Structure 1
């Protein structure tokens, strides 16, 4: 019934209404974020069209972030809590982003345990979104003021949001802040628990980026040729997705799909319970492939792969997410040897209601790759 679900008109099945309920949006995001979604148009149009030009910046930021967080400290085997791997360049800005995601997702799960009249009290007690929004605005407001005085237009996310925003939001740092705010950790844990994938992935990167493995020279076109890297990330999402919802029939209830059930179906995936990192790369470019090359990509859509949704509500940011994941994972592959603290054992994922996250207790050992190592 997936095609019926995707094709249903908005007045029958409303994605916006469902997300508002699921995320307790009135208490975690604010009433306007889901009701005035101009940021989605920015992602679908301006950002996706400019994706090729921002890949080098994403790659450069990835390299700097790794250097800041683990590069200078990892000389021997050391453990790193999977929850603290990335924090980026500005400490407070990165804390805001990390807290924002946790408080929206897990705050919503908690708030939804309460009956209607108590939701507001629960929201006030267990979320800090309004405080995070003001902290984010503190970082963004000077940039907005500076942009209004600049003659030369900067082509970036902040500019696109300002240009797309309604008049009342154009100079509102707090309104824009909410629209700027696990998947990589899932992939990292798969890689660390299955180190046999490091060598073939490194070999592919060497073929595309050269023997120096200078991944700071990332280009979108080069990533398109890294079929094994793309497949590894897609397989990680197949087995360790973002979550699952059941199907409820009554009017006003949430209707959704259950990705783990389809992703583990032997009719669609041979040895479906087994992680096969190169599953989706084997038939890429083959005329004999049962599926199209586009559907086999990490960003591909279809009724048997649901990580990015489908239909008109398919995730508009999946192309940017794909590039970010590839930048981060390729940097790890090129610069480090990784393994789980307990060899070959990937801790089971954590579930919070319908939300699936990587184990918060997982420990990964990093060792800087020695010169000449494959």
Structure 2
């Protein structure tokens, strides 16, 4: 063989890869699970990866229809994803303990967090208890603050004049509005109105997925770590945020030492809770910053996406806007901006639940990583290291589960609540079940969904009461979503026009 001939070398490489692929495929423990979107052989699975990148929604629906109540696998760029169908297997996945199938390890591996921000949050997620408990209990006190921050965000980013229309890019604006309200809860003022801090919080949010796209093309843990030190925007942004939070941390520690239990105006925000817990958990100041930023990602990414989806629906459906205003205006007039008032807005709650059903954050849910060999309830063997997920799109569009599932019906859940008072809670936006899994289900269901649902309903209610709005350019149909890998993204380039309304409600 002439090693200097490029064609000869290429042919030899192809032959070697084929032999290697066949060798790997023969004992492949996932070989018994049917494949959707391409060939089953490990070597040839790369043929399917572009399908997952650009067509994940259709692959999920195809697998759901071909293998009802069963499982299938799809080739992502760097792994197989085994997808379970049907409420029985969803319940099986939900019930399994973390030492069998781990949610946090699945997130860490999917986002390559150990190479960019470390494994600390996955190994010891104590900060989630603050979200699940303290933050949820604080919601009644936070509602007026949400209104204040959204009003400031509109004043700064949507400067309307009289009856003139002001045009803004909808998704970036929603990111800024959510970032301000969330930052106020996480670290308080003045950072919640510091444009540079907010910019970094949004950059961090976007960088998580950008880094993931780079890391999945890099083989091996060691090489990933090396590449991450050069390319990771997540890692770099954490260090840029540190000078903003370090003085606050030092000042609060000084006040804690000086005043102790007599510190009467001690902040009740996430940063304070993390500072107080840091000695117990042996956390450095940098690790506190990292956890704050991880929660910024979780809050800004999901909430801005969810609110933009709803805004796009309302911008093209004036009748829905009027229905919601008719519900919201008398409630706010009578009770003001309170948690109880928000809870009475059943139609507003319904359109969020319906939007999450039809759009969601991802085409899959209940992602897990097999920590040991397991056998599912249907007898399927799952080897250690396998990535598992439930088909949320298949579940949510199943007419057998929800009649008329293919259509978007904004107020269907409000009607269900009105029809059966005993089951009213079951049909709330935040409620999860094997049939409704955009927040996950069970002990790993999104712990921040109660906080987020109130924040988002305040945001859309505020817009409805204070602004008229429509899609720019005379568009009358809702913009199509983007589907990138498993993510569902509202089109980020769409512009929305706002005009101030006459309103006596503040």
TM-score between the two structures when normalised by the length of structure 1: 0.90
- Deviation digits for residues 25-48 of structure 1, max 9, x if unmatched? 112332222222111111112111
Gaps of 5+ in 2: 1-88, 181-192, 297-304, 370-381
- Deviation digits for residues 125-174 of structure 1, max 9, x if unmatched? 5431122112222221122122123332322211112223344655x432
Give the Å deviation of 1:245.
3.7
Residues of 2 paired with 1:53 and 1:352: CA distance?
37
Residues of 2 paired with 1:96 and 1:52: CA distance?
28
- Deviation digits for residues 55-80 of structure 1, max 9, x if unmatched? 22122112111211104468523331
Residue 469 of structure 2 aligns to a residue whose secondary structure is strand
Residue 179 of structure 1 aligns to a residue whose secondary structure is helix
Q: Which has the higher strand share?
A: 2
Counterpart among 65, 74, 81 of residue 169 in structure 2:
81
Counterpart among 103, 109, 119 of residue 213 in structure 2:
109
Aligned to 1:119: 224
Residue 386 of structure 2 aligns to a residue whose secondary structure is coil
After superposition, the Cα gap between the structure-2 partners of 1:225 and 1:169, relative to the gap in structure 1 and judged at 3 Å, is same
Residues of 1 paired with 2:279 and 2:358: CA distance?
40
Aligned to 1:38: 126
Q: Which has the higher helix share?
A: 2
Residues of 2 paired with 1:187 and 1:80: CA distance?
16
Moved more, 124-133 or 354-363: 124-133
Give the Å deviation of 1:192.
1.1
Residue 236 of structure 1 aligns to a residue whose secondary structure is helix
8 Å contact from structure 2 (residues 127, 291) kept in 1: yes
Residues of 2 paired with 1:30 and 1:18: CA distance?
14
TM-score between the two structures when normalised by the length of structure 2: 0.68
Aligned to 1:139: 244
Residues of 1 paired with 2:437 and 2:431: CA distance?
9
Residues of 1 paired with 2:97 and 2:457: CA distance?
35
- Deviation digits for residues 200-240 of structure 1, max 9, x if unmatched? 111111120118xx9xx421111110001111111111111
Residues of 2 paired with 1:349 and 1:126: CA distance?
29
Counterpart among 188, 197, 214 of residue 93 in structure 1:
197
Residues of 1 paired with 2:99 and 2:462: CA distance?
45
Taking only aligned residues, the RMSD between alpha carbons, in angstroms, comes to 2.4
Gaps of 5+ in 1: none
Counterpart among 325, 345, 359 of residue 240 in structure 1:
359
Aligned to 1:200: 323
8 Å contact from structure 2 (residues 469, 499) kept in 1: yes
Aligned to 2:468: 337
- Deviation digits for residues 12-36 of structure 1, max 9, x if unmatched? 1011211110110112332222222
Equivalenced residues, count? 365
Residues of 2 paired with 1:74 and 1:96: CA distance?
33
8 Å contact from structure 1 (residues 136, 174) kept in 2: no
